[in-house]
Structure 1
Amino acid sequence: MRAFHTTPKRILELEAAGTLVREVGRHLVAAGYRIDDRERRSWRNSLPELARRLCALGFGDLSVLTEYRLPRSDRRVDAIVAGTHPNGRDVYLVVELKQWSEATWLDREEDLVSVPWTKEAQLHPGAQVEAYCAYLEDMVRVLLERPDAVHGLVYMHNATAPGICRRWPRPRPRWVTYVPGVGDSNG
């Protein structure tokens, strides 16, 4: 498998042992990926935050596919959380992890934002996860028949500015939900 398959509980165990980044990296390198420091930093900072949130909600045993490569694409999704809804149907949560604490709009028509640490325009994370969800529904045969199985989540665990997660210029995509950082009391 090209993704690192784990659970939220296991992510926290690996973090506590100081081996999370090494284990994720080892798996992905063995699968043929080149890994950079930015990705390692993201795994170190973001995966445990997501895992803590999921465990706190009672979802510590769900499957998590980390750095899932989209079919017939070189794009990778940060995480896909997979489980079974109480109604018995499989559910897939496509997660885009962002360490962003702030962002401002550059171009609302093109879904581009500016972040302080780079001069390059960035795709709004809501648009990014929306594209991943749509792509999965189009490319994975079993999901074509069950589009209600795919959901998207933007998890911005460092977001502290009120409203940073809800600044969407058009109706929110049907897939996308935002989970802001602890400092954003407006949720």
Structure 2
Amino acid sequence: MPLTPRPSRVAVAAVVGALLFGGGCSSVVAGVPAADPAPQPTEGPGSDPVAWVDKVCGAVLTYTTPALSAPDFAGRLDLPTIKQRLSDYLGSTVTGLQQSQAQLGAVGRSPVSGGDETATTISDGLKKLEGDVGGAKAKVDAANPNDIASFQAALTEAEKSLNEVSAPDAIGNIKASPRLDKAAGQAANCQKLQSLAPPG
């Protein structure tokens, strides 16, 4: 009798990202605080740390949207449909990860020491995650939906691979730097990422 196996929910852990600092200084003339008359730089030292970290968090948000949009396996679906939905989901997650990396590469120089290294660490983590998710997608794409037993085995293997994936812990990077944490607390995209983080 034909039996359609239901894959377990396969979801990429979207451990969200955030970062960066705060603070700036004003110049003092004759003991009276005064604003710097020069235009504020758009990147690097002297630029707005909140704006910079907001871009970093926004870049990471780009991949969390497709990663959190798990495929719908409700109802009686045939195996080719299950395969296609899962492949599409993993493919959109890979695309989101690629876009996140591109956006991180365009945030400009950090206003605060250590920020550039933090952004690079996150980008490297996203690159590894892209490879892991891409590998799981390859397993799904190679599965034969006409062979129920081997297809179920392929889905199980893909799920196992994804369960072993670790996403960049950008939130942990923020907490390690009071200046990064302070700026992230004022950045809308970082607050949204924080809300997506698992409790604990």
The answer to whether TM tops 0.5 is no
- Greater fraction strand: 1
Name which one, 1 or 2, has greater alpha-carbon Rg. 2
Normalised to the residue count of structure 2, the TM-score between the two structures is: 0.24
- Greater fraction helix: 2
Structure with more contact order per residue of length (Cα contacts < 8 Å, sep ≥ 6): 2
Normalised to the residue count of structure 1, the TM-score between the two structures is: 0.25
